[in-house]
Structure formats: structure tokens, C-alpha cells
Amino acid sequence: MRITEIEIKNFKAFYGTYRIDLRKTGKNLLVYGENGSGKSSLYFALKLFLESGDNPSHRFENDQNIFIGDPGYIKLCLRADRRSNQMTYEWSESVRETDDELIIEASRAKGFLDYKDLLETHYVHRESNTVNVFNLLVETLLANTVNPRTNRTLAQDWAVIQPPYPRRNATSQIADLESWIEIFNTELANRLAELQPKVSEILGKFGHNVALNFDFPGVKYNREDRTLDNQGIFLTVELFDRNIPEHHRFLNEARLSAIAIAIYFSSILIQPEGALKILALDDVLIGLDMSNRLPVLDMLAEYFSDYQIFLTTYDKAWYEIVRQRTSDADWEYTEFYTSESNEHEIPIHVQDKPYLEKAKVYFNDNDYKACVIYLRTAFEAAIKKFCDRKNLRVRYRENPKELQSNDFWEPIKKMELDDGTPFLGQELIDEIELYRSIILNPLSHARIVPVVKKEVSEAIEAVEKLEDKLAGN
């Protein structure tokens, strides 16, 4: 069972209707997106859509795009395989078709991790020379794993034993509390024991020849002080058969991030699978250095080959690397850009090259703001692709994210024909330069520029000409 199409309207950062086509085979999706571009909104759209079935208290309205009066929706199309019928599920203020076995099961077995979940790794090891990962595991990495005994998530089991605690003489309530604590302890201890070999195996893929141990003494209720003591899971790492006394040196942030990802993957891999298997990682890999990112791709291929994977990143270079290393047959690639109109940011997503077409559609709808964004994107995409194809020397920037459209435009502009005349022709260059300054300049959206219809229409023509020219060569 795979997702073949996602359609989102007026949800979180999405303004208007957006469709992402994952083809009949339900390909994986790689998303590049600027911050604020709706990349994370896509992640949350999927997450909340899946969770809404089992959690009716979360209402679509809560995340409806706040600038919009028109009600929105999220629709997912699913297919068991390319030959079977497509089923559409909708979640909106008025329709809740996610209350379905398939969706609820997908939610229970899903893997959704975002970069914020890993921020905790920056704090854990600073305490002392023991690494206490209790909060990281209980509140984040294992929070949504299910206790087979209570049929609740670990986070819910944990919530049950939070304060307020009973008074000292309330013996039956204390006994109740302690029995819940025992269930929590035994389940967590058992889960850690199950995880341990899998985590070590996955860490091996990162090139860390280590064995990882969790030391979990069990939380304990202190009747005297009415506190929950022993909130600790201590990591011990054996490296090349040597015990490392000071873990915090070995366990730098990058390694700890890798360990965290390994634990998260393992926690999914020890639970049952549903029919619809989704793994979504929102910017998770940015915490890793490049040498640790590539193994993750191999891991996804090895362990999650039957999952449908959604990867997002704001790192353009990484996006390009992943693109190169994955196959078009299994992956769709899409880019999200952002713009600021008078009122709010508009995310734009670009799948393949419909952007100039999109720009025209918005132009015809008299929505010049949106049109300009697509136009700019079309322009950038065209010049980047051309540079790539022609292997033009692009100005080196230490951080590829800082590459600007100018870096691509300049070499193209300077390209000459054999006779020394500009490759693009001076007329086109002048035209593009003109509109770059007022419309196509990505910085232009920082200030509010009144957009005149005529200018926009001429800019469209210019970009169209440029596309033709570049495509023809």
C-alpha cells in the first residue's frame, strides 16, 4: 500500500491548493525547501493526517491556514499496487475519513522524526561524564512506541505516572501508582533489551564498530519526598572491545545524533508493520556530518525498502547529492520556495518543471504575487539546470546554501559564442537584467514592491524566451 497523490489546501503554510503526484507506484519523496517554504508543513500534514484517525480531538481547523477564510483539506490517494484501484481519504473540518483501519494502523506503525526531536542530543551529555538519555528516549525517540501490555504508547504510560502524586497516607493510590510504575519499568527495560542488538547493528553501518548498552535501573517512587527518582538510562559504549571511560568525548553531538537515529530506526524495526508503511524524516540528517549522512541513505535502502519514505531538507547541496544517489524510478523530487506577499508567506512547490505554467495560471488568476514567485523559481531552475548540464564554473561558496541566482546567472550571461557575442544575445540579456532587478531578484520580496501587471507579463515572456534558449542548447 502506497501513497500515490497528496493534495493539500489551505493547511498551515499552504495557501491555495497543492498537489504532489507520487505516480501510480507511490514513489518516495525528496523535498528541498527554504525555511518557511512549507516543507515542514508537508511533514505535519502527513503526520497529523495519519494521527487524526485515532485522535479525534485534534481537529483540522487547528492547523488551517490562518489567513484563509475558505476551508481547507488534506487528501491522500492510496493504491495497493499500480493495477489496483485508487482510494482517496480526506481529512478536513467537515470530513474525517481517516477514521479507517488502514490509516489508524499506518499511524501506529509509522516513523516520523524531525530535527527538533534531535535537539535534545545537544544537551544530554553535558551533565557529567555519564550520558543520561532517559528524556531523549522516553519523551522523544521511544515516545510513540507501543507497550503491548497496555496498548498505549510509552509517552502515555509515562504520563500516567507523572505528578500530582497521592498523599503520603493514601496507601491504595500509592499502590496503584507503584503498579503503573512497575509496568512502565518492566516494559521499558524489556524494550531496551530488545533494541540493544539492533542498535549496535545499525551503528555498525555508520562505521562505528561499537556495542551499545543501556543501563536502566528503573524509576522509583519516593514515598517520603513524593518524587519519581532514578530517571536515568545510562549509555555505555564499548569501542573496539575497549571500554571508553569518558563517554562524552566519544559521544560528541554528531555521534550522539547518529546513535539517536539508530535507536529510532530500531524502535520501528522491532514493532509490527502495517499495510501502509510511512517513514518521514524532516531535516533530521542536518545534525550529521556528511560522512554520517550517506550511510543513512544505505540504511534506508536496506532496512526500509518496503516503506514509503519522505525526506526533506533545507540543504540544497545535500538535496542534490541525494538526488544523484537515488533512482528516478523510486523517487520523486520536489522543491519548495517561499515568497512574501503583502500579507503572508506563500510557499510554492515545484515538481519537475511546471513552474512557468503555474506562473501563467496565477497570472491569469490575477494573483501576481504568486505568479512572481513561480516566475522567479522558473528562472532559477532554468539557469541552475543549465549550469549543471554545461558544467559551467559557478562561483565557489563555502556553504552551498548561500549560492544565489546571481552565481548561476553571471556565468551564463558571460557565455560567448565563437564570435565573441553573448550566447544569449544582448537583447535577451538586457531584458532579463531589467526584470531581475524588479521581479526576478530573490531579494526583492523582502521589501514590498508594487507589482504591475504589464511588467509581470513582460517578465513571463522574457523567462519563457530564456527557457527556450537554454533548453535548445
- Name the site residues for another protein (rule: CB under 8 A): 53-54, 99, 101, 104-105, 108-109, 146, 148-152, 156, 167, 176, 182-183, 185-187, 189-190, 193, 216-218, 270-274
Q: Which three cell numbers stand for residue 61?
A: 481547523
Unique residue bearing C-alpha cell 499495510: 275
Beta-strand pair 87-92/220-222 = unpaired
Cβ 185 to another protein shortest distance, Å: 6
C-beta of residue 76 within 8 angstroms of C-beta of residue 70: no
Whichever of 105 and 431 has its CB closer to another protein, that residue is 105
Read off the C-alpha cell for 428: 535577451
Cβ proximity to another protein, 31 vs 195, nearer residue: 195
| Nearest distance from C-beta of residue 1 to another protein, angstroms | 14
Query: Could you tell me how far CA 195 lies from the centroid of its own chain?
Result: 24
219 versus 383: smaller Cβ distance to another protein: 219
* Least gap, CB of 100 to another protein (angstroms): 8
Minimum CB separation from another protein for residue 53, in Å? 8
Measure the CA angle with vertex 424, ends 422 and 427; round to 5°: 90
- Closer by beta carbon to another protein, 170 or else 452: 170
Nearest approach, Cβ of residue 188 and another protein (Å): 8
How many other CB atoms are found less than 10 A from the CB of residue 29? 22
Give 151 or 366: the residue with its C-beta nearer to another protein: 151
> Can you tell me whether residue 90 is helix, strand or coil?
strand
| Closest-CA residue to 88 (of 76, 71, 79) | 76
Q: Quote the least distance from Cβ 99 to another protein, whole Å.
A: 7
Distance of CA 235 to the CA centre of its chain: 28
Shortest CB 227 distance to another protein, Å: 17
CA-derived radius of gyration, the chain: 26
- Burial label for 415, CB within 10 Å (0-12, 13-18, 19+), is middle
Q: Please say which residue, 60 or 216, places its beta carbon nearer to another protein.
A: 216
Q: In this structure, are residues 247 and 237 in contact, taking their beta carbons and an 8 Å threshold?
A: yes
Comparing CB distances to another protein, the nearer of 151 and 391 is 151
- What does the block give as the cell for 4? 500515490
Count of alpha carbons within 13 Å of 37, Cβ hemisphere only?
A: 21
